[in-house]
Chain A
Amino acid sequence: MKIRTLTKAALLCAAALILGWIDSMIPLVPSVPGIKLGLSNLALLYAVFYLSPLLTVLIMLAKVGLSALLFGNAVGALYALAGGILSVSVMLLLHQNRKISVIPISMFGGIFHILGQIAVGTVLLGIRPMLVYAPWLLVSGLITGTLLGVCARGVFYGVERFEERRNA
């Protein structure tokens, strides 16, 4: 593996960690737990598009593990891990078709992240509360996934222009 790629992966991991920490400080709907912007998904989206699938999965695992150690708890890590595995798998799968742009990939990533968390919630809390809780989470996953996709499109455009100018 090239040092440049490894450095990129380490930087993305650090970015995901910091964005995740900022995210946890922003309560979107205080009375509904778990609704977050999912800012750290920006770093994972970048990894899906510009790094290998293996590195993307490793960044996600490192982010979940380090977040749990630094700011969270074991149960929080379980929710994040289930959501992370499902969302990264779906995003990598969709990215196999190069026709698909970042916005739909991010939308599906957001939805499947929530579906993973709903699965853990169902195991821990039971199905009855999840039937009330899940609609809020799913709608928030769709909205934040779309917004992040739009942001990622802007970021990717900027990075590509920067790389072009540097290589010229």
Chain B
Amino acid sequence: MERETIENRQKTNLLLMGAAVLLVAFAVVLCLLLRPKTSGASAFVIRFGEGQSITVSSDQTETVVIRDGVRVDAATREGKENVIVIENGSARMEDATCPHHECIDQGVLNAQTSASRPLGPWIICAPHGVSVELRGGGQ
């Protein structure tokens, strides 16, 4: 009787662990199917604040400073600040005041690196709600 109870318990636990793996596998496959595809590189789209965005052509050279959800002229390292540099067809997060600087660690984004980067054609600063997307010619 006791053995049966233990077997029942093990079965329930194994089923739940399988369900957890299946749930994650389903969600990952769904994301992979729905993720936007990028071909070539024509522009960088910088999103920030409440739905604001700036599009910078990849052949331009520009430094974009975002502070507290607004584009400003110069960096001061105050508030929620991100400094994005676009030059030679690449974009990078030059500086940021977020806690762990993970957006800076994401490195250079361009047509060559976007396929091999973990986050593909994106640089994301999650704490500040700022993102940079590399968009292809057809998008």
Complex Cα–Cα for A71 and B100 (A): 11
Partner of A73, one of B23, B102, B127: B127
A interface bracket (residues with beta carbon within 8 Å of B)? 35 or more
B interface bracket (residues with beta carbon within 8 Å of A)? 35 or more
B9 within 8 A of A: yes
CB neighbours (8 Å) of A75 from chain B are: 80, 126-129
- CB nearest neighbor in B for A134: B31
Complex Cα–Cα for A103 and B39 (A): 42
B35 within 8 A of A: yes
CB neighbours (8 Å) of A134 from chain B are: 27-28, 31
- CB nearest neighbor in A for B28: A135
Residue contact A30 to B102, C-beta cutoff 8 Å: yes
B59 within 8 A of A: no
Chain B, 100-120, contact with A by CB distance < 8 Å: what is the 0/1 string? 101101110000000001111
Chain B, 116-139, contact with A by CB distance < 8 Å: what is the 0/1 string? 011111101111110101000000
CB neighbours (8 Å) of A107 from chain B are: 16-17, 20
CB neighbours (8 Å) of A29 from chain B are: 118
B1 within 8 A of A: no
Complex Cα–Cα for A29 and B118 (A): 9
Residue contact A131 to B118, C-beta cutoff 8 Å: no
Within the complex, the shortest CB–CB distance from B31 to chain A, in Å, comes to: 5
Residue contact B131 to A129, C-beta cutoff 8 Å: yes
B60 within 8 A of A: no
Residue contact B9 to A126, C-beta cutoff 8 Å: no
CB neighbours (8 Å) of B103 from chain A are: 33
A121 within 8 A of B: yes
Main secondary structure of the interface of B (DSSP, over half): mixed
Complex Cα–Cα for A128 and B105 (A): 21
Partner of A27, one of B9, B27, B80, B100: B100
Partner of B106, one of A31, A79, A121: A31
Complex Cα–Cα for A125 and B120 (A): 15
Residue contact A100 to B13, C-beta cutoff 8 Å: yes
**Most B-side CB within 10 Å, residue of A73, A111, A132:** A132
Within the complex, the shortest CB–CB distance from B30 to chain A, in Å, comes to: 9
Within the complex, the shortest CB–CB distance from B68 to chain A, in Å, comes to: 11
Chain A, 95-111, contact with B by CB distance < 8 Å: what is the 0/1 string? 00101110110011001
Instruction: Point out residues on A near B: beta carbons under 8 Å.
Output: 24, 27, 29-34, 71-73, 75-76, 79, 94, 97, 99-101, 103-104, 107-108, 111, 121, 124-126, 128-129, 131-136, 138-139, 141-142, 145-146
Q: Knowing that A75-B80, A133-B122 are A-B contacts, what are 9 other residue pairs whose CB atoms are under 8 Å apart, sorted by A's residue number? A: A27-B105, A31-B102, A32-B119, A99-B13, A128-B133, A131-B31, A133-B119, A134-B31, A135-B28
5 closest residue pairs by CB, A with B:
A33-B102, A104-B16, A124-B129, A30-B105, A131-B35
A to B CB contacts below 8 Å, 13 in the list: A94-B16, A101-B13, A107-B17, A108-B20, A111-B20, A124-B129, A129-B122, A131-B34, A132-B121, A135-B32, A136-B118, A141-B24, A142-B20
